[in-house]
């Protein structure tokens, strides 16, 4: 389905792939479109909803500037999915022990491993690059809890909280998939918050002229622009490694409980909160995808639903109108606070029937009813991606 709505209230248009957008999100999109460095237009995916400063589900191309709050604080957050050689018939009747195995292997929330979880050959290159960043910005280390180095190392191969998850899914052929959603953990959060605040400070009196103070930005050539690019690249790499290492630990845990299996070639590891240099509409630009994945022609991606709905493995169609992007999920249709008010444990149990997962009040804000209809989201972006596999989760671990 093509663009369903266009806003022309800013310096450039905003093209939206849904007709169902809350007023707060619309205002945020207009605010972004007023910025002087936006290139050509802003694209909003069908899962679009209000965020902090910039809208979740937006694709923002900029020339000569980057907005740290548009990237956000979960820098490099994204998805990883692999298909196993197993089929549904090879899974145990009860998946409780499998969930227990995964929960024992993977720290969630603010948790971390008791010892270094990955090889030194992985840690050392990351540490050298981080030392360079902290050498110029020592306050980043002070913002984290005690022993910052222990924290970022031991939070590798860990999940986090909120909407992050690990799932066991079945596709249309009953093949078993492992899918996870995580980002750059505590260190990425600290880097994001530090540079968002630094951008505000650097703008000085100009901050008050912005449509939203969360749109504070670094300009190319300014004092801290290159430092931010270096730091955000580090956090994105950290997030990618975190997902890769976590996936391996999950597979090791599953191997203790399941028949022998192998991994197929269909493996995807992609960001959906990040900034990258690309070429669009005749210019080299910084593309910030805040809650959106790259969907270049032929590229595989992952679009998850909620913990009780379908998810999709997709292949990009390379749409220039969306800057070769698509949605990163279903997208929230209500806040966490509203979800907790509106739903109860009985609702959660009903909406996650058939899924081995937590069904306590601690995850009510992640109930499927708090999210948009993933089928409608997919229908709205049929011009951006084609569906390769349809997945339905049978097990879900939440942070």
Is 306 annotated as contributing to ligand binding? yes
Is 166 annotated as contributing to ligand binding? yes
Burial letters for 168-201: b for 16+ Cβ neighbours within 10 Å, e otherwise? bbbbeeebbbbbbbbbbbbbbbbbbbbbbebbbe
Helix (H) or strand (E) holding 349: helix 345-351
Are 22 and 28 contacting, i.e. CB atoms less than 8 angstroms apart?
no
Are 50 and 72 contacting, i.e. CB atoms less than 8 angstroms apart?
no
Catalytic hit among 41, 113, 328, 389? 328
328 is catalytic: yes
Is 224 annotated as contributing to ligand binding? no
Residue corresponding to tokens 């227990």: 100
Is 208 annotated as contributing to ligand binding? no
In whole angstroms, give the CA distance from residue 257 to residue 270.
28
**Edge to edge, what strands does the sheet with 42-49 contain?**
5-7, 14-16, 42-49, 56-62, 283-290, 273-280
In whole angstroms, give the CA distance from residue 131 to residue 231.
11
The answer to whether the Cα torsion of 206, 211, 212, 215 is positive or negative is: negative
Characterize the bridge pairing of strands 273-280 and 283-290: antiparallel
Tokens encoding 324: 């070769």
Is 305 annotated as contributing to ligand binding? yes
Are 163 and 364 contacting, i.e. CB atoms less than 8 angstroms apart?
no
Is 173 annotated as contributing to ligand binding? no
CA angle 117, 273, 194 (to 5 degrees): 75
Is 330 annotated as contributing to ligand binding? yes
Taking only Cα atoms into account, the Rg of the chain, rounded to an integer number of angstroms, comes to 21
Are 111 and 104 contacting, i.e. CB atoms less than 8 angstroms apart?
no
Q: How many residues does the chain have?
A: 399
Is 167 annotated as contributing to ligand binding? yes
Contacts of 202 (CB under 8 A, 6+ apart): 216, 218, 222, 223, 224
Is 329 annotated as contributing to ligand binding? yes
Annotated binding site for Mn(2+): 74, 164, 181, 272
Annotated binding site for GMP: 163-167, 272-273, 304-307, 311, 328-331, 398
Annotated binding site: 74, 163-167, 181, 272-273, 304-307, 311, 328-331, 398
Residues serving a catalytic function are: 328
């Amino acid at each position: 389905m093509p663009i369903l709505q266009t806003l022309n209230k800013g310096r450039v248009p905003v093209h939206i792939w849904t007709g169902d957008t809350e007023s707060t999100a619309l205002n945020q999109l207009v605010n972004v479109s007023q910025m002087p460095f936006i290139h050509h237009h802003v694209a909003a995916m069908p899962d679009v909803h209000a965020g902090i400063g910039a809208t979740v589900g937006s694709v923002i191309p900029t020339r000569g500037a980057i907005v740290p709050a548009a990237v956000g604080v979960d820098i490099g957050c994204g998805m990883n999915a692999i298909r196993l050689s197993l089929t549904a018939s090879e899974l145990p009747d009860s998946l409780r022990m499998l969930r227990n195995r995964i929960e024992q292997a993977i720290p969630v929330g603010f948790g971390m491993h008791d010892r270094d979880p990955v090889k030194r050959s992985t840690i050392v290159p990351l540490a050298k690059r981080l030392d360079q960043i902290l050498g110029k910005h020592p306050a980043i280390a002070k913002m984290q809890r005690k022993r910052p180095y222990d924290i970022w190392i031991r939070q590798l191969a860990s999940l986090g909280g909120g909407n992050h998850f690990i799932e066991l899914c079945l596709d249309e052929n009953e093949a078993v998939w492992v899918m996870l959603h995580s980002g750059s953990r505590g260190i990425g959060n600290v880097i994001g918050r530090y540079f968002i605040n630094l951008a505000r400070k650097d703008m000085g009196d100009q901050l008050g002229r912005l449509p939203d103070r969360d749109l504070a930005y670094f300009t190319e050539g300014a004092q801290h622009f290159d430092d931010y690019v270096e730091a955000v690249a580090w956090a994105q790499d950290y997030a990618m490694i975190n997902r890769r290492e976590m996936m391996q630990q999950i597979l090791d845990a599953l191997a203790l409980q399941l028949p022998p299996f192998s991994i197929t070639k269909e493996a995807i590891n992609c960001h959906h909160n990040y900034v990258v240099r690309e070429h669009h509409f005749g210019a080299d630009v910084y593309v910030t995808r805040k809650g959106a994945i790259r969907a270049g022609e032929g590229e595989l991606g992952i679009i998850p639903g909620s913990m009780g709905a379908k998810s999709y493995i997709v292949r990009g169609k390379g749409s220039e109108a969306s800057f070769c992007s698509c949605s990163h999920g279903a997208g929230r249709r209500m806040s966490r606070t509203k979800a907790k008010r509106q739903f109860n444990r009985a609702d959660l149990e009903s909406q996650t029937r058939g899924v081995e997962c937590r069904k306590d009040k601690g995850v009510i804000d992640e109930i499927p009813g708090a999210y948009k209809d993933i089928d409608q989201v997919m229908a709205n972006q049929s011009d951006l991606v084609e569906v390769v596999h349809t997945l339905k989760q049978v097990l879900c671990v939440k942070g």
